[in-house]
Amino acid sequence: MHITTRRTFIRQAACAALGTTGLLNTVFDLRKLSAATVPGGDYKALVCLFLYGGNDANNMIVPRDANGYASYAAARGNLAIAQQSLLPLTLQNGDGRDFGFHPSMPELQQLFNGGKVGVVANVGTLVAPITRSQYLAKSVAVPPHLFSHSDQSVQWQTSVPDQLSRTGWGGRTADLLRSHNSESQISLAISIAGTNTFEVGNSVIPYQVSPDGALAFSGMTGSNNANVRFQAFKDLLALPQNNILAQTYADTVKRSIAQNDLLTTALAGAAPLTTAFPASSLGRQLNMVAKMIAARNSLNMRRQIFFCSVQGYDTHGDQLTAHANLLTELSQGLNAFYNATTELGVANDVATFTASDFGRTFPTNGSGSDHGWGSHQLVMGGAVQGGRLYGSFPTLAVNGPDDTGQGRWIPTTSVDEFSATLASWFGVSASDLPTVLPNIGRFAQPNLGFIA
C-alpha cells in the first residue's frame, strides 16, 4: 500500500497546481501587457524539440563529395561515418556540394528530399556576429560560460545570452499572442517534458502534461478509497480562508483540477489517431503533442507552443553506437509526428524544430567528441521550404576560417535569427520581434526564409 505523507501530499498538490496555471498569475495581475490583435479561425503550432547534451551534428549531415568527405574523414578519425553508408540528400538550393544524412535517418532523408524538412547550418548562441580573428583577439564579446551545458541550454531557450533572463523566447511569444486563445482555459505553452525556460513568459506559465495525459494527484484515483480521499480534498479546498496565501493556493489548485478534468475530457473526445508512433520516449511525447493538437477545437486553442526533449546527446564516449540510436529515435519520432499532422490536416500549420546546448568538437577525443559551439538544426513542417540547406556550412578544417582553434565551429547564424524566423511565421509582427528577441537588431537576417 502506498502511503503519502502530509508533506509529500502538499508538495505534490502545489507542483500540480503551479504546473498548470501558475500561482503568480493569481496573486499579481500580469495580464495588463499589451497583446497582439489576432484574426479568428486560424491555427498554428510551434514544437520545440530540445536535444540535451549537445548533438554531434557533424555526423548528422556529412559532405559526400570527394573533397568534402576527405576533409571530414581526416579530422573525424574513428568517428567518421563510412562514405557509402551516408543517405544522399537532393538539395534544391545546392551549390555543387553533395551532402548525406547519417544512415540512422532514412525517414528524415525521405522528408528532406520531399521538401518537408530543411537544415539550418552552424547555428549557435551569439552576443553579436563574430569572426575567427575577433574570437582569437577577444575583441567581440561571446556568451558567458561558453561550452557549459547548463548555461548554453538556457541561453538557447531564452535567446538572451548576455544577461540573465527568467523568461524564454517561446514564453515571450506566448505573452504577445495569448489573445488567440482568449476562450481557452489551458495555457498556450504546453510542456510534455517537465519544466523548461523556453516556455516561461511574463504572464504565460507553461501547462505541464505527461506523455500519457493530464497530471493527476498521487493517490487520488484508481479505487473507492482514492475517490473518497479526492472528494475530501476538494471539500477542504472549498472552505473559505482568512489568509490570502491560503485562499490563493486553494483557488489555484481548484483551477488546476478543473483544467485537468477539461483536458482529460477533450483528449477522450478526440478521434483516435491511426498514425503509429514508436514506443520511445520521444515517440510517446510527440504522440501526446499530436493528441493535444487533435483536441485543439474542444480546448478553444488557435495557438499552441509545445516543448519536448531527449536526453543523452552528451556523447563523450561510445559515440558511434549511442548517437546512431539517438538519431534512429529522432528520425522515427519526427516522421510519425509529421504523418500525424498530415492525418489531422494541419501539416502546413505546425512547425517543428530542433535545438541543442551546442555542437561537438570536430576531432575525436578517442571514442567520442567534446563540447563544441555552432551546430546544425532541423526544421520540419508543410510550410517549411524544405530540401534546402540554410545558412553557411562551416569549412571542415581544424584552425580553418570557422574554427575557434579546437574544432569548435564559430556560429555563422545566431539563435536569434533562427528563432526570429519561427516567431515571425507564428504571428509575431516585425515591430514586436525585439520584445521576443531583444538582441535581434544586432544581426543581419531576422528572417532566414526557411518557412513561409
pLDDT per residue as tens digits for the range 75-122:
899 999 999 999 999 999 877 789 999 999 999 999 999 999 999 999
Average pLDDT value for residue range 212-218 = 84
Lookup: cell for 388: 534546402
Residues paired with 188 in a beta bridge: none
Q: What crossing angle do the helices spanning 169-177 and 149-158 adopt, rounded to 10°?
A: 20
- Strand runs labelled E in 200-268: 207-210, 213-214
The DSSP symbol for 215 reads -
* Phi and psi at residue 303, to the nearest 5°: -135, 135
Q: What crossing angle do the helices spanning 106-113 and 319-344 adopt, rounded to 10°?
A: 50
Cα torsion 249, 6, 12, 259: sign: negative
Query: pLDDT tens digits, residue range 398-413?
Result: 999 999 999 999 999 9
Query: pLDDT tens digits, residue range 89-102?
Result: 999 987 778 999 99
Is the pLDDT at 12 greater than 90? The verdict is no
CA–CA gap between residue 440 and residue 128 (Å, rounded): 9
Lookup: cell for 64: 559526400
Query: pLDDT tens digits, residue range 31-65?
Result: 333 334 444 459 999 999 999 999 999 999 999 99
What pLDDT is stored for residue 41 in this prediction?
A: 55
Is the pLDDT at 168 greater than 80? The verdict is yes
CA–CA gap between residue 22 and residue 72 (Å, rounded): 49
Q: What value does the mean pLDDT of the chain take?
A: 90
Helix, strand, or coil here: 126?
coil
Q: What is the pTM of this model?
A: 0.90
Helix, strand, or coil here: 137?
helix
